[in-house]
């Protein structure tokens, strides 16, 4: 696949729509190499005193975690040439890991979840680098970000279909799922390379996006430290509970009586995808980046409140499980998605900093995954005797209260900071 010099040609609206569709589809295909194994329950397998599936999830999450910390440097310094080679290499390593996962006996094959997770953890920043710093980045970024809501359900549905239709071993499901997504991924990477760089009007409004040195990164953190700490805590909360819902949704559905229904994953995730896309994508209409940043805070607080209220009614048996999984998922993604699409994009533009979004996303992501790994380890090490539905629902209620309060502080901090530099 040679590097293209012939970009897509169209006006700003056409280019934005083209980029949104292509990155959505590209990342959906990438997700096909990531999470299909979570549809499997691996019933009855325990090693070292731990549930085997928990070992797998932890191994992959530690891979993500290492990738996020490494990505603070790697993604922030990423050059804009030859990125398709990086995508192909990283996905290729992740897919090969699933092959060895299938042929190496348990529990020794768990190491290949780490090998799978590390390269995949780098790919968000690579793909996002194609679309940041544009007048239409809010919409394109929202389309990219909601791809992992949609793809999470879609990939699980594909994995569940392969498992039931072809009677595959649970250990071969991830590799087989990758086979389904491999050719479409090559096609969409080709079209991703045709996304043109930001034009002069984009740069004037959203600042030039350039690789960041260690000194650049340190300067940015020093300028916004209290606000960044608040953002990292908020994002950490969202990451922890999004990951629990994502990784153990098959287990939760089973506990709630929805067994062998692979379509249930798409049934809940598709409406969430559409609603979040409309909410976050509509921010493209707001030219003033400071106002957009404050609106992002509002959406995040609203997401925490929705997750908390819906979970309360579910625990009181006043909300159906399907409606609850949809509502709590929507709330969590209303918190999670802005940080992966518009929040840091608008923060850079509002305060007129030169740099790139990848640095900030990976800074937040690294601590978010650290929290996810910590919670999962704590539950297993301290032998917390809760099923996933009970553990998740009880925790989300407390999360929503704390998250709302910290979001209010973050909004207050950035509002005061913006006034001080005017």
Q: Mean pLDDT throughout 194-200?
A: 93
Residue 364 lies in a domain: yes
pLDDT at position 3 is 45
Gap between the Cα atoms of 422 and 414, Å rounded: 12
pLDDT at position 4 is 46
pLDDT at position 133 is 93
Residue 74 lies in a domain: yes
Six token digits for residue 238: 């969202």
pLDDT at position 202 is 92
pLDDT at position 386 is 61
Residue 248 lies in a domain: yes
Q: Mean pLDDT throughout 174-201?
A: 96
Contacts of residue 155, defined as CB under 8 A and 6 or more positions apart, other chains included, come to: 28, 31, 32, 34, 35, 36, 177, 181
Gap between the Cα atoms of 349 and 369, Å rounded: 27
327: containing domain: 12-421
Beta-ladder partners of 46: 51
pLDDT at position 384 is 62
Percent of the chain exceeding pLDDT 90 equals: 69
pLDDT at position 242 is 85
pLDDT at position 378 is 80
pLDDT digits (tens, 9 = 90+) for 18-60: 999 999 999 999 999 998 998 888 888 999 888 899 899 999 9
pLDDT digits (tens, 9 = 90+) for 130-166: 999 999 999 999 999 888 788 888 998 899 999 999 9
The answer on pLDDT for 172 being more than 70 is yes
> Residue 267 belongs to a domain with what CATH number?
1.20.1250.20
Residue 249 lies in a domain: yes
The pTM of this model reads: 0.86
CA-CA distances (angstroms) from residue 275 to 196, 326, 327? 28, 11, 11
The answer on pLDDT for 316 being more than 60 is yes
Residue 310 lies in a domain: yes
Q: Give the chain's domain count.
A: 1
Residue 7 lies in a domain: no
Q: Mean pLDDT throughout 400-417?
A: 96
pLDDT at position 233 is 95
pLDDT at position 2 is 45
How many CB atoms are closer than 10 A to CB 353? 16
Residue 38 lies in a domain: yes
- Is 245:256 a contact under the CB 8 Å cutoff? no
Residue 87 lies in a domain: yes
Query: Cα 291 to the chain's mean position, in Å?
Result: 24
pLDDT at position 412 is 97
> Of the candidates 204, 227, 222, 219, which has an alpha carbon nearest to the alpha carbon of residue 418?
227
The answer on pLDDT for 280 being more than 70 is yes
Q: What is the overall mean pLDDT for the chain? A: 91
Q: Kindly report the three-state secondary structure assignment for every residue of 86-117.
A: HHHHHHHHHHHHHHHHHHCCCCHHHHHHHHHH
**422 vs 96: which has the higher pLDDT:** 96
pLDDT at position 333 is 92
């Amino acid at each position: 696949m040679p590097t293209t010099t012939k970009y897509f040609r169209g006006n700003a609206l056409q280019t934005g729509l083209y980029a949104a569709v292509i990155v959505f589809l590209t990342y959906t295909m990438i997700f096909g190499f990531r999470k299909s194994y979570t549809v499997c329950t691996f019933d009855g397998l325990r090693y070292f005193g731990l549930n085997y599936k928990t070992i797998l999830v932890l191994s992959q999450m530690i891979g993500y975690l290492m990738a996020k910390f490494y990505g603070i440097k790697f993604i922030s310094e990423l050059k804009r040439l030859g990125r398709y080679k990086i995508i192909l290499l990283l996905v290729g390593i992740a897919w090969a890991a699933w092959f060895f996962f299938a042929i190496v006996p348990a529990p020794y094959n768990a190491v290949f979840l780490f090998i799978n997770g590390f390269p995949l953890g780098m790919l968000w920043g690579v793909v996002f680098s194609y679309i940041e710093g544009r007048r239409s980045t809010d919409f394109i970024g929202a389309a990219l970000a909601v791809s992992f809501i949609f793809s999470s359900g879609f990939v699980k549905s594909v994995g569940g279909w392969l498992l039931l239709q072809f009677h595959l071993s649970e250990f071969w499901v991830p590799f087989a799922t990758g086979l389904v997504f491999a050719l479409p991924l090559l096609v969409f990477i080709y079209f991703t390379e045709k996304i043109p760089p930001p034009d002069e009007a984009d740069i004037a409004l959203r600042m030039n996006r350039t690789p960041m040195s260690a000194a650049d990164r340190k300067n940015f953190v020093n300028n916004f430290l209290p606000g960044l700490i608040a953002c990292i805590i908020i994002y950490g909360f969202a990451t922890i509970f999004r990951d629990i819902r994502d990784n153990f949704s098959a287990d939760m559905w089973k506990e709630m009586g929805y067994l062998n229904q692979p379509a249930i994953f798409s049934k809940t995730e598709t409406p969430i995808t559409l609603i979040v896309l409309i909410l976050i994508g509509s921010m493209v209409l707001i030219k003033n980046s400071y106002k957009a940043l404050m609106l992002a805070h509002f959406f995040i607080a609203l997401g925490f409140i929705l997750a908390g209220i819906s979970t309360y009614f579910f625990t009181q048996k006043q909300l159906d499980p399907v409606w609850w999984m949809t509502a709590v998922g929507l709330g969590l993604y209303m918190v999670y998605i802005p940080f992966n699409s518009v929040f840091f994009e608008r923060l850079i533009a509002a305060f007129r900093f030169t740099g790139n979004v990848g640095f900030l996303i990976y800074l937040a992501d690294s601590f978010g995954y650290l929290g996810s790994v910590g919670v999962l380890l704590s539950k297993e090490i301290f032998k917390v005797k809760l099923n996933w539905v009970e553990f998740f629902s009880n925790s989300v209620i407390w999360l929503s209260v704390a998250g709302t309060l910290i979001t209010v502080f973050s909004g207050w901090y950035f509002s005061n900071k913006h006034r001080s530099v005017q």
